[in-house]
Amino acid sequence: MALKVLVGCKRVIDYAVKIRIKPDKLGVVTEGVKHSMNPFDEIAVEEAVRLKERKLAKEIIVVTCGPPQAAETIRTALAMGADRGIHVEIPLDQMDTFQPLHVSKVLAKLAEKEKVDIVMLGKLAIDDDSNQTAQMTASLLDWPQGVFASKIDKTDAGLEIIREVDGGLETIRTTLPAVLSADLRLNEPRYATLPNIMKAKKKKVVKMTPADLGVDMAPRIQIVSVEDPPVREAGQTVADVDDLVAKLKEKGFSSA
């Protein structure tokens, strides 16, 4: 039974960039800053491509919700091996109010429309660290979820997933269809090669808006402020052990 997989990916500020807060303290500077695919989404795309290589999946549809520039992110996913793309366009100035709940609603609608068997996402996006989209999408669809997956296998009844949890590794079994989210150790994503980048240019990408899917964009969350972490204070040099002990007592760290 060859599965149809919908993979979500997000265009975020590149992980190596030094983040700067905007003067209005309501967000971070994004203009002129290097962006790339969210690293966890790269892992998700890679896993979907491997499912296809193992002949467990027959079609991979990659979807992104983002500004016009996000078309590049879709192309990268197509170059990695996805078959076609859906670009849900959000104007750049609305990206700040576009939130995980909206994404989940979009993904749920697309999952039903495209009749997919697996919705595959990264476990979180490195810009907002929300870790909500996979879970909310599963809830909206009323599908089982296997989040923080570090290994995914097909069984007769559905899927067997090993999840990374605080206490160690948890193995669960789900039926299909299901929503999965990729954790760091699921795989090491491939680099897109030039021949594949060239092939990707010919693959189909369909554009649409959230309204086309009947999703309302009204924000549920308002960002109040964004601030730098406090500047690290200089340490104090102590002259000797006695001085250190005296200082510790002074600050209340020693009872003796």
Partner 1 sequence: AIMRGVPQLLSRARLVRVGFSASEPVLAVQAGILQPDKFTQTFVQIRGLKSSKVISQAPLTAVDIADSGKQLKQELEAIVGPGNVSSGESVVLQHGQDEGPHPGKSPDIVVFPSSTEEVSEVCKICTRHNTPIIPYGTGTGLEGGISAVEGGVCVNVSKNMNKILQIHQEDFSAVVQPGISREMLNQEVRSDGLWFPVDPGADASVCGMCATGASGTNAVRYGTMKENCLNLEVVLADGRIIHTAGIGSRPKKSSAGYNLTSLFLGSEGTLGIITSATVCLHAIPESVAAAVVGFPTVQNAVDTVVMTLQCSVPMARMELLDEVQMKACNEYSGLSYPETPHLFLEFHGSESEVESQTETVRDIAADNEGGEFQWAVQQEDRTKLWTARHRAYYADIALRPGCRSLTTDVCVPVSALPDLVTATKADIAEHGLIGPMVGHVGDGNFHTMLLFDPADPEEFRKCKEVANKMARSAIALGGTCTGEHGVGQGKMVLLEEQFGKDGIDVMRQIKGALDPQQLMNPGKVFSRN
Contact in structure between 205 and 87 (CB atoms under 8 Å): yes
Report the nearest approach of partner 1 to the CB of residue 62 (Å).
Answer: 15
> How does DSSP classify residue 175?
E
Q: Distances in Å between the alpha carbon of 7 and those of 33, 36, 106? A: 25, 16, 12
6 backbone dihedrals φ, ψ, rounded to 5°:
-105, 120
> How does DSSP classify residue 234?
P
Q: Give the per-residue contact string, 100-139, with partner 1 (x = CB under 8 A; - = no).
A: ----------------------------------------
Comparison of 77 and 141: residue with beta carbon closer to partner 1: 77
List the interface residues with partner 1, window 69-88 (CB under 8 A). Answer: 76, 79
Comparison of 79 and 82: residue with beta carbon closer to partner 1: 79
Closest C-alpha to 98, from 224, 218, 226: 218
d(CA 213, CA 84): 18
Report the nearest approach of partner 1 to the CB of residue 36 (Å).
Answer: 6
Comparison of 74 and 179: residue with beta carbon closer to partner 1: 74
Q: What is residue 64's three-state secondary structure?
A: strand
d(CA 2, CA 235): 61
List the interface residues with partner 1, window 171-210 (CB under 8 A). Answer: 187-197
d(CA 32, CA 53): 37
Q: Which two tokens stand for residue 49?
A: 């491509």
Report the nearest approach of partner 1 to the CB of residue 187 (Å).
Answer: 7
Comparison of 11 and 102: residue with beta carbon closer to partner 1: 11
Comparison of 58 and 185: residue with beta carbon closer to partner 1: 185
Kindly state whether residue 32 participates in binding partner 1, applying the rule CB under 8 A: no
User: What residue ranges bind partner 1 (CB under 8 A)?
Assistant: 16, 36, 76, 79, 187-197
